[in-house]
Amino acid sequence: MEKNEIIKKAADYAQRLLSSETSGHDWWHTYRVWKMSLHIARKERADLFVVQLAALLHDVDDYKLKFSKAGIKKKTVKQILSKIGTDDITAKKILHIIQNMSFNKSFDGKKVNTLEGKIAQDADRLDALGAVGIARTFAFGGSHGRKIYDPKIKLAKFKSSKECRHSESPSINHFYEKLLLIGNMLNTKTARQIAKERHKYLEQYLERFFAEWEGKR
């Protein structure tokens, strides 16, 4: 099958599955990761086919997702790849990327070891920064019953993905526990460049948040 046709099928599946997701991992998150991956991959001269498929399918089988309204049966990434006609060698590469790229897994020492994986991971992480990242953090927090902020709850330092998953931290704490660390965790030069402005925006946002909290602005 044509590569473009496979990409289109992956995008269609992700769109149908994620369209009613509301915790910050909706289709438009996948769409942004897809476009950003493509942008980075062109600059870094990576395999555009592998990068795009990894980006498009990176969240379809994630434990965090709730798709109560989508009404379509969830499949494993392996099943989808085979269904849309991906050859075995490419499928293997993509599975490795998706199984290792999640932020939480980096606490367990998991790493992606291909350029394509590094790019998909960078694009996913960039979507947690900047204006969009702020929106997603509060969307995720709200949908998981987290507080916006509570000065009595101290910052946590996670040692494993399990600890991180089960954290009840308020969303503001999440900025310090994860988001502000992302800038130093990116793999590619292109992503680090893009992250600079987005990181600064988070810092400015927090400064203003605390000023408003105390009625100072």
Q: Which residues bind ligand ADP (CB under 6 A)?
A: 24, 64, 102-104, 124, 128, 133, 136-137, 140-141, 146, 167, 169, 171, 174, 179
Minimum separation from the CB atom of position 106 to ligand ADP (A): 8
Q: What is the CA radius of gyration of the chain?
A: 18
Q: Which stretch binds Ni ion (CB under 5 A): 5-13, 15-23, 119-127, 142-150?
A: 119-127
Short-list 122, 127, 116, CA closest to 93: 116
Give 44 or 127: the residue with its C-beta nearer to ligand ADP.
127
Binding to Ni ion (CB under 5 A): which residues in 39-98?
Answer: 59
Q: Which residues contact 134 (CB under 8 A, 6 or more apart)?
A: 201, 202, 205
Query: Min. distance of Cβ 170 from ligand ADP in angstroms?
Result: 8
Nearer to ligand ADP by Cβ, of 24 and 117: the residue is 24
DSSP designation for 114? S
Residues in Cβ contact with 166 at an 8 Å cutoff, skipping those fewer than 6 apart: none
**Smallest separation (angstroms) from Ni ion to the CB of 217:** 33
Nearer to Ni ion, 23 or 82 (CB): 23
Task: Give the contacts of 190 (CB within 8 A, at least 6 positions apart).
Answer: 39, 40, 43, 44, 122
Place of tokens 């992606």: 112
CB of 18 to Ni ion, least distance (A): 10
Distances (CA, A) of 44 to 104, 157, 174: 25, 33, 30
26 binds Ni ion (CB under 5 A): no
**Which residues would be at the binding site for Ni ion (CB under 5 A)?**
59, 124
